[in-house]
Amino acid sequence: MEDFKIYGLPDEVLTALKTQKIESPLPVQADTAEKALSGVNLLVQSPTGTGKTLAFLLPALSKIKVDENRCQVLVIMPTRELAGQLNNVLGLYKMPGLRQAMLIGGANKERQKEKLRKKPQIVIGTPGRIEEAMRDMKLKLDAVNTIIVDEADKLADDRFYQGVRDLLNMLPNEAQTLFFSATVTDDAQRMMRDIGRKFEKILMSKKKTNEDIMHQFTMAEDPKKFPLLLQLAKELKITRAIVFITRNAGVKGLAGRMQEAGLKAQGIHSGLSSQDRKKIIGHFRTGKVDYLVTTDIFARGMDVPDVRYIINYDVPKDQASYIHRGGRTARAGQKGTVITFVQEHTKFVIGKLERNLDVEIQEKGFTKDGKYIDINY
């Protein structure tokens, strides 16, 4: 635990790290700690699953004065699921006297107001609800010294850009601003410039994907996908996997077919209530469910331990989607495998991903006697 002492955190936080079996900083934590602690504005790119959350959370906690009853750290997240997940992580490393509040859409406003009345030192939320809280819930952010924008590429895309930029412009100019993402986009860099921040860019790896991930693809036209999925489940003895498809409408049907075939599967999509989504993720996290069927909306940030396989039942729509889907495995130094089902007319996507991401995606297939082997031409 010696290396974590750079943060100057209380013993309770160090003990919590040890309890979570975190003995030493991961590279993104070690390489950003000094600058994050010094107050430099940073734009950090590190592949998903490499420890970005603690890389921004630990320096932020080190600057909080728990005896001051005002918000000092603001964390902006793109979705309520990611905000909820970070809120839970923060709960694991909470310092004595630290109060936290989460501001997300779809949640009880009165409960959120009650949290704010307790003067939290750290607030986590989505852009719209944070702005609403400033306007209608008397949330004061004039004492914020650290602003964290997680999944910065997402929060800088067309859907969020104007709202996030305007929110950042309402915050103290002197506050340290930390952008973290698996991919550093031109839009994220433009947003930093738009809000008048000079920043240092830290690229943890030239590769955009986690180097602990093995990439594979196998040919399968639509009618062959489901039998192939069953073959993989049997041959690889999969006990925890996320299966990604393109459309919400297909989630329930595929999960149902998997259940009928004897697999412990459940589906999750944006049409479900927040409570139902939380329940299903809980089942997956605790092992009641082996397979989680979902869409790209849950490809970002969902952190479930020991996910060894990502199965792209449908080819990802773009490079970023492939990166974030794959980022659900090989987290915190573990190994993982991404398997993509490819049809003949979409096979070109594999070569494009290999070139753009600088990875090798090995073609695999089944022999007549059911062995899963490399295909070499």
Average pLDDT rounded to a whole number, residues 226-235: 96
Please check the confidence at residue 356 and state whether its pLDDT lies above 60: yes
In a domain, residue 208? The reply is no
The per-residue pLDDT for range 238-259, each reduced to its tens digit, is 999 999 999 989 999 999 999 9
**Is 65 in the same domain as 28?**
yes
Residue ending a domain, among 145, 173, 203, is 203
Query: Which domain CATH number covers 20?
Result: 3.40.50.300
Residue ending a domain, among 154, 179, 203, is 203
225: part of which helix (H) or strand (E)? helix 222-236
**Is 113 in the same domain as 148?**
yes
Domain that holds residue 145: 2-203
**Is 287 in the same domain as 330?**
yes
- The arrangement of strands across the sheet holding 176-181 comes to 100-103, 122-125, 73-76, 146-150, 176-181, 42-45, 200-203
User: What is the residue whose two structure tokens read 């694991």?
Assistant: 92
Specify the pLDDT at position 271.
84
**Is 193 in the same domain as 224?**
no
pLDDT averaged over every residue in the chain: 91
Q: What distance in Å separates the CA atoms of residue 2 and residue 25, rounded to the nearest whole number?
A: 10
**Is 182 in the same domain as 144?**
yes
Q: What distance in Å separates the CA atoms of residue 143 and residue 70, rounded to the nearest whole number?
A: 7
The percentage of residues in the chain with a pLDDT greater than 70, rounded to a whole number, is: 98
Helix (H, G, I), strand (E, B) or coil at 354: helix
Specify the pLDDT at position 206.
57
Please check the confidence at residue 178 and state whether its pLDDT lies above 90: yes
**Is 268 in the same domain as 369?**
yes
Specify the pLDDT at position 43.
94
**Is 293 in the same domain as 349?**
yes
DSSP state of 203: E
The per-residue pLDDT for range 194-218, each reduced to its tens digit, is 999 999 998 876 566 778 899 999 9
**Is 331 in the same domain as 292?**
yes
The per-residue pLDDT for range 47-79, each reduced to its tens digit, is 877 889 999 999 999 999 999 999 999 999 998
CA angle centred on 309, ends 304 and 310, rounded to 5°: 85
